[in-house]
Amino acid sequence: TTMVSSVCFLCEVPVQCMDDPFGFKAEVVIGDESFPLYRCTPFLTIYTNQHMSTINNNERFLAEAEAISESRHQMQTMSSTDNRGKSNATSHPVQPEDTDAHNNHNHLIFTDDDPFDKPPCRGCSSYLVEPYVKCAECGPSPFVLCLQCFTRGYEYKKHQSDHKYEIMTSDFPILEPGWTAQEEMALLEAVLDCGFGNWQDVAYQMRTKTKEECEGHYMKNFINNPLFSSTLLSLRQMEEARSPDTAIPFKPTDDPPRPSFDSQLSRDMAGYMPARADFMEEFDNYAEWDLKDIDFVDDDSDILHALKIAVVDIYHSRLKERQRRKKIIRDHGLINLRKFQILERRYPKVVQDLYDAMRRFARVIGPLEHDKFIESHALEFELRKEIRRLQEYRSEGIQTFCGAKVYEQVKQAREDERNKRNMLCEVLQYIHDSRACQQWLHKQAAIDAGITPIITTITTSGRRSAPPLNLTGLPGTEKLNEREKELCQVVRLVPGAYLEYKQALLNECQRQGGLRLAQARSLIKIDVNKTRKIYDFLIKEGYINK
C-alpha cells in the first residue's frame, strides 16, 4: 500500500489515506477529536459548510457524533474482519482547504440515514448511502454500486463498467427550495414516530430544521395544500356535516348471540365467544401437549432431529384441520344452531327431507351454491303445487280467477260442515269428565262466535292447568314489552325462544308477503296451541299479515 492524497467522494473533504485494494481507510479530525472512517463510514456522513446549514447545539452534536460513529464503526469493522482481514495501515488526519471553517463546529451537521432501507452494494456488500450508482442496463433487479466500487470499474456477470448508469441521490428540492427530498422523507418519518403536533421532538429528530420550520412546512404542504382539496375533506366541513340525524344509532346485535358464561345456550354454541370470534375449547384441544417437551439442541442425532420435525409437521396438520372446521362453521352460519334449525323448518316437509339429504354435499359445492340449490327446489315445489291447484280448477270447469275464489270459499264451507258432523265423536272422549266437557263446549261456542278462544289444557284427570311462567331473571326479558311478557307468561314460553320464533315468522312474512297459520306451524315445531297464540298475537299487534 502507498500513502496518497485524495478527496472524499461523499463530502469532498481532502483526506490522506491508505490506497489499498479494498477501499479507503482514514481519520477525520473534528476539533480536538478524530473519528475513524471506513469508506467514509456509510453510517455516518459529515458535511461541510458548503452543503448543509448549521446546527444550534454543537456540544450535544459532537457527543452524539462520537458515540454513534464509534459504535457503528466497530460494527462495520467486526462484520468485515472475516472477509478482508485486519489492516495495520496508519491513518492520517484530514487537512481541509478551509481550516477555519473546518475547525468551527458550527459549520458541521450530522445526518443519520438508515442504510438498511437500501439494498447493499453488489461489489463490496456494504450498506449504501446517497449518492450511489445504479446501472441503467442491468435488470430487472437493481444493480447498485457504491462510489468506491464504481470508480474501480467493478464488473460482475452481465454487468460491464461501460454500461449506462444513474446517480441516485435525494439532494434536490421538491416542494420548497430550502427543503431537499431527503429532508421531506425525514420530516414525514419524524411526524410518524413522534405524532402530529409534537413539533419539538420532530425538530429534535430532524436536526436540520427548527420547530417553527417543521410545523410551517408540514402545515403548508401536507395539510393546507390546495392539491389535496379534491381528495381530502377538511376538518371544518366534517364538523359542520356532523348532526344528530347523521349519527348511526347503536343497537346490540343478536346474531351471533352473546349468552352468559356457563349458560345452556353457551354450551349449545360450544363455548363460542363472539367478541373474540373464537371458541372456549378448540377442536383437538390437547394438540399442543405433544410439543410442550420438544427442544431442538445441537447434539441431537439425525434420527431424533427428523422425529422432532415429524412431530411438528403433525402438529401443523392438526392446526390446519382446526382452521378448516372453523371455516366451515363460519361459511355455513352454524354458530347459532337454533337459528339454523328455525331457518331449516321454514321449508315444506318434502324440501326438508331434501335438505337433510343434501346437507353432506354442502362442503363440496359451498354455502351459497347450496342455498341456491335448496331455494330452487323449494320454488319448484311451490310451482308444482300451484300447477296442481290450477289443474283442479280446470277439471272442475273453472276458467277465471274470480270463479276460483268462489270455489275455494264453497270448498272451505263444505269442509267445515264435514268437521261439525264429527264433533260428537270428539266430545264423547270427555263425557265422563264434566269439567273437560264444559271447557270443550266453551271453546266451540267461542269459535262459532268468531272469537279466538283462550285454549286451556283439557285433561281427563281433572288436574289444574299450569300457572303462568315467572319471567324474573330469564335472559331476554328486558327486550319484551308488557303485552309480550303477558303472552310469554300465559303460553309458558321463555323470552329467548319467543324472540327467535318471532324473528323467524317476521322473516318468512317479509319473504312471501304474508303468512298463513299452516306455514307458521310448519316453521315453528312446538305445540300447535302455542303456535296459534303466537300467530294471533303477531297478527293483532301488526307485526305480520295474513
Is 60 exceeded by the pLDDT of residue 213? yes
pTM of the model: 0.36
Give the pLDDT confidence of 236-278 residue by residue, as tens digits. Answer: 566 566 665 655 666 656 666 777 777 777 777 777 887 787 8
The residues, ordered by sequence, that sit 6+ positions from 352 with a Cβ below 8 Å of its Cβ are 344, 345
Checking phi first, is residue 350 left (phi over 0); if not, alpha (psi -120 to 50) or beta?
alpha
- Please give the pLDDT value at position 41: 35
Which of 51-55, 338-342, 360-364, 393-397 has the highest mean predicted lDDT (pLDDT)?
A: 393-397
- Please give the pLDDT value at position 438: 75
Is 60 exceeded by the pLDDT of residue 90? no
Distance from the Cα of residue 130 to its chain's centroid: 39
Is 90 exceeded by the pLDDT of residue 387? yes
Name the nearest CA neighbour of 25 among 59, 1, 43.
Answer: 1
- Mean pLDDT across 180-192: 89
CA dihedral 401, 404, 409, 412 (to 10 degrees): -140
- Mean pLDDT across 407-433: 76
Is 70 exceeded by the pLDDT of residue 470? yes
- Mean pLDDT across 14-28: 43
The residues, ordered by sequence, that sit 6+ positions from 36 with a Cβ below 8 Å of its Cβ are 25, 26, 27, 69, 73, 91
- Which H, E and C letters describe 493-543, residue by residue? CCHHHHHHHHHHHHHHHHHHCCCCHHHHHHHCCCCHHHHHHHHHHHHHHCC
- Please give the pLDDT value at position 1: 37
CA distances (Å), 505 to each of 383, 535, 539, in order? Answer: 22, 8, 11
By three-state DSSP, how is residue 99 classified? helix
131 burial via Cβ count (<10 Å: 0-12, 13-18, 19+): middle
CA distances (Å), 412 to each of 233, 403, 406, 486, in order? Answer: 66, 14, 10, 34
Which residue bears the cell 324474573? 472
- Please give the pLDDT value at position 388: 92
* Residue 469 DSSP symbol: P
The residues, ordered by sequence, that sit 6+ positions from 332 with a Cβ below 8 Å of its Cβ are 362, 367, 370
Which of 50-54, 182-186, 335-339, 456-460 has the highest mean predicted lDDT (pLDDT)?
A: 182-186
Name the nearest CA neighbour of 43 among 21, 19, 84, 10.
Answer: 10
Choose the weakest-confidence range: 18-22, 271-275, 471-475: 18-22
Q: Which residue type occupies 116?
A: F
- Please give the pLDDT value at position 320: 93
- Please give the pLDDT value at position 40: 39
CB of 521 closer than 8 Å to CB of 346:
no
The residue among 472 and 191 whose pLDDT is bigger is 191
- Mean pLDDT across 150-173: 86
Q: Write the DSSP assignment of 254-307 as a string of letters.
A: -SS--PPTT-HHHHHTTTEETTTTEESS-TTTTGGGGGTT----TT--HHHHHH
- Please give the pLDDT value at position 255: 65
Alpha helices in 14-96 (DSSP H): 58-79, 81-84
The residue among 524 and 195 whose pLDDT is bigger is 195
Which residue bears the cell 285433561? 459
Burial 205-219 (b: 16+ CB within 10 A, else e): bbbbbeeebbbebbe
CB of 146 closer than 8 Å to CB of 38:
no
By three-state DSSP, how is residue 96 classified? coil
Backbone angles phi, psi at 2, to 5 degrees: -130, 155
Give the pLDDT confidence of 312-331 residue by residue, as tens digits. Answer: 999 999 999 999 988 888 88
Beta bridge partners of 135: 165
β-pairing verdict for 109-111 and 165-168: unpaired
Residue 457 and residue 464: Cα distance in Å, rounded? 9
If one looks up domain 466-546 in CATH, what number appears?
A: 1.10.10.10
Q: How many CB atoms lie within 10 A of CB 456?
A: 15
Q: Which residue type occupies 308?
A: K
Share of the chain above pLDDT 90, in %: 11
- Please give the pLDDT value at position 299: 83
CA distances (Å), 68 to each of 56, 110, 216, 344, in order? Answer: 19, 11, 30, 70
Residue spans per domain, the chain = 1-112, 264-335, 342-402, 466-546
Residue 217 and residue 209: Cα distance in Å, rounded? 10
Name the nearest CA neighbour of 111 among 204, 7, 208, 27.
Answer: 208
Residue 540 and residue 21: Cα distance in Å, rounded? 98
